[in-house]
Structure 1
Amino acid sequence: MRCSSTITAHLDTWVDTKNRSDWSGILLGNGSSCALWEPFAYPSLFQRAASAEISHPLTATDKALFSKLGDTTNFESILADLLTATTVNKALRMPHSQIPRRYRSIRRALIEAVHSVHLPWDRLSEDTKTRIRKALRRYSFVFTTNYDLVVYWCFMAQGGDGFKDYFWNQNRTFDASDSKVWNSPTKITKILYLHGALHLYRTAAGRTVKEVGGVAGSLLDRFAANENRIPFFISEGSSRHKMQAIAQSD
């Protein structure tokens, strides 16, 4: 909206806006991903996971768990609760076979839903990745609420030079005590995943870890491949549920 005493329906273009100030950061939302891949415009990952559009959708029992365990549609919190329940039941020597079964069912539906909507790695051209990478490099901070791999693929297009995402220690875990960029000869663009991402996961010990790809496209292929890793991203839900999930993260 133009700065004036009269409110109008005019909306400035990005070309006009980006040069209006020396912006230090940029916030990327779902629109940036939808501009690259139309299937990202799906209304709800939970709805996709419960639909006949995937091979193994959520069952009625699975959906009941989302309703009973906090009335949420956040997969991460449900999967974490089921793992905790399994551990408790084992410790108390109580029957628990139904819990791992539901865990595997929900996890499988999540994986299939993600793959059904995500942009394939080979459909994102090198030219597009380079142009996005160049556009992001002008900022000191890139905040993204997208859980997809687009931003990661783009800033890694040239080996990740000039970008940092705070998962730089040897184990690729986040350490709040080691979160400052020191002695860099050039400006570094810091990436912050506000809602997590597909290449992040939570360990049983509660640490957030980054998965890295070894070959082209393998990062998406390996999403949620390890049953003991809880995918760490918030795809939807109320603002209250999102804030709770963020507060519980590193």
Structure 2
Amino acid sequence: MEPEWISFDEAKAQTEAKRRHLLLGNGFSISKHRSFAYDRLYDEAVRGDAALEPLFAGHGTNFEAALEAAESAEDRIRIRKGLVAAIGRVHPRRGFLSPADCESCGQFLEAFAGRVREPRRGRVFTTNYDLFLYWVLMQRQTRLKLYDGFDNDGIWHEGLLDTTFVFYLHGALHHFEENIGRLKPIMRQYKLLWQEGLDLPRQVRLHIARGNFPVFVSEGTSAEKRHSIRANPYLRKVNKRFAKHLDDPEAALFTVGHSLSKVDEHITDAIGAGTAAVYIGVYKPLDGGARANELAAAWAEKRKCAGQPPLYLRLFNTAECPIWAPDGVLQPRRGGRDV
């Protein structure tokens, strides 16, 4: 049985008494900045390294497909570096997000993990690499109180996981690691901080120019992504927290801008085994939510075999989510606290 379509407002009404978690995908950023789409990133990557072009033969501009088909570790490294460098080059400066954009996005996040949701405050999980969410949080941190587990010096601490509300499941442009061990390697995760006269996109580009690439999961298959996640303490811990927070009968998960594709089975497996209420945002409703229907059938079968209760799954049109201010004009708040 195919899942039912409801409006975004109906989804919020159904979950008013629940803890709402939010999973963001690349559509969250593409809806504001088209250059994060694969076709634009491919053009930029090939412009920076023409030797990448033959590695995409037969795969269009799909980086994950090219990574999966790459015949050598050197080719995979080249593709990954090309993707990271391309994102770094096309990324706009901080002023690209207007105050109205930050306010509008802040209102959107408040429906899930903002402090106005106490004591039902959920968590925000993202697989995006860009800086948009980070910028919004820096501008609206006082109101949202969505901490990312890094201290005031930008150092990540595992001990802060219980009070962490934002998790970068695949790393991000502003996340790096460094070896601080003398006798044996001790890797420390840190994030870039705002500096006077040196904005974050420029800091990222400087790091990359020195050969220091961000913590960044972009492998071609879900199995390879799992391996990369296990190899990094931060990624390993935050992905475990993703599964833990979903294992909550009082919670519901909303997805926005995420394709939930087969190369992200490490994420879809956690969703299917976790919370019993999932609301999937679909970008192109005209396709009938084909991937969501496929997942619904797979999740139903797995939950039945595991003796779990049926999954309550609903679909909504992401066009109804007022994330960014249209034309830089902030829309009035709707319905009090929620967006």
Give the count of matched residue pairs. Answer: 201
- The separation in 2 between residues aligned to 1:246 and 1:16, in whole angstroms, is 35
For 1:44 and 1:72, locate their aligned partners in 2 and report how far apart those are by CA, in whole Å.
20
**Cα displacement (A) at 1:74:** 8.1
What does 1:79-90 correspond to in 2, within 5 Å?
A: none
Q: TM-score, normalised by structure 1?
A: 0.66
The structure that is helix-richer by fraction is 2
In the other structure, the counterpart of 1:156 is 138
Q: Determine whether 1:27 maps to 2:23.
A: yes
Structure 1 window deviating more from structure 2 (30-39 vs 67-76): it is: 67-76
Change (3 A) 1:50 1:128: closer
The 5-angstrom pairing of residues 103-114 of structure 1 reads: 106=81, 109=82, 112-114=85-87
Query: Equivalent of 1:223, from 185, 201, 204?
Result: 204
What is the deviation of 1:29? 0.9
Aligned equivalent of 2:232: 249
Match of 1:68 in 2: 72
- CA deviations 1:93-152 (Å, max 9, x no partner) are xxxxxxxxxxxxx5xx55651144434422211111111112213423100111111110
Given that 2:92 and 2:201 are in contact with CA atoms closer than 8 Å, whether structure 1 keeps it comes out as no
CA contact (8 A) 1:30 1:146 kept: yes
Inter-partner Cα distance in structure 1 for 2:7 and 2:198 = 33
1:57 aligns with 2:49: yes
Contact 2:126–2:170 (CA under 8 A) maintained in structure 1 = yes
Quote how far apart the aligned CAs of 1:236 are. Answer: 5.2
Root mean square deviation of aligned Cα: 3.4
- Please give the alpha-carbon distance, in whole angstroms, between the structure 1 residues aligned to 2:89 and 2:211: 23
The 1:126/1:216 distance shift into structure 2, 3 A limit, reads farther
The ranges of structure 1 where at least 4 consecutive aligned residues each deviate by more than 3 angstroms after the TM superposition are 47-50, 70-76, 109-112, 158-161
**TM-superposed deviation, 1:238:** 1.5
**1:190 corresponds to:** 165
- Aligned mates of 1:217, 1:27 — CA distance in 2: 30
Quick one: structure 1 residues 26 and 201, their matched pair in 2 at CA, closer, same or farther if it must change by over 3 Å?
same
Contact 2:102 2:140 (8 Å CA) reproduced: no
Aligned partner of 2:62 in structure 1 is: none
Relative distance call for 1:119 and 1:17 in structure 2 (3 A) is farther
**1:33 aligned counterpart, secondary structure:** helix
Decide whether the 8 Å contact of 1:120 with 1:217 is kept in 2: no
Q: Does 1:212 align with 2:216?
A: no
Matching residue's letter, 1:199: H
Corresponding residue for 2:123?
141
**Are the equivalent residues in 2 in contact too, given 1:73–1:236 (CA < 8 A)?**
no
Is this contact kept in 2: 1:198–1:223, CA < 8 A?
A: yes
Larger relative contact order (Cα-Cα within 8 Å, sequence gap ≥ 6):
2
Aligned-residue sequence identity (percent) comes to 27
Residue type at the aligned position of 1:129 = C
Partner of 1:94: none
Amino acid paired to 1:69: A
The residue aligned with 1:175 is 157
Q: Which amino acid aligns with 1:57?
A: D
Equivalent in the alignment of 1:131: 104
TM-score, length basis structure 2: 0.51
What CA deviation, in whole Å up to 9, does each residue of 1:218-240 have, x standing for no partner?
00111041326331122452111
C-alpha offsets along residues 153-195 of structure 1, whole Å, 9 cap, x if unaligned?
A: 1111135551200012x542222234333xxxxxxx7100001
1:10-58 CA-to-partner distances (Å, cap 9, x unmatched) read 633323322321343111111111111122222585x44542xx3x315
CA shift, 1:201, in A, is 0.8
SS of equivalent residue, structure 1 residue 201: strand
In the alignment, structure 1 segments of 5+ residues that lack a partner are 1-5, 77-105, 182-188
Task: Find the residue that maps to 1:155 and give its secondary structure.
Answer: helix
- The aligned residue for residue 121 of structure 1 is 94
1:232 aligns with 2:205: no
| Contact preservation (8 Å) 1:74, 1:236 | no
Q: Verify: 1:14 aligned to 2:8, yes or no.
A: yes
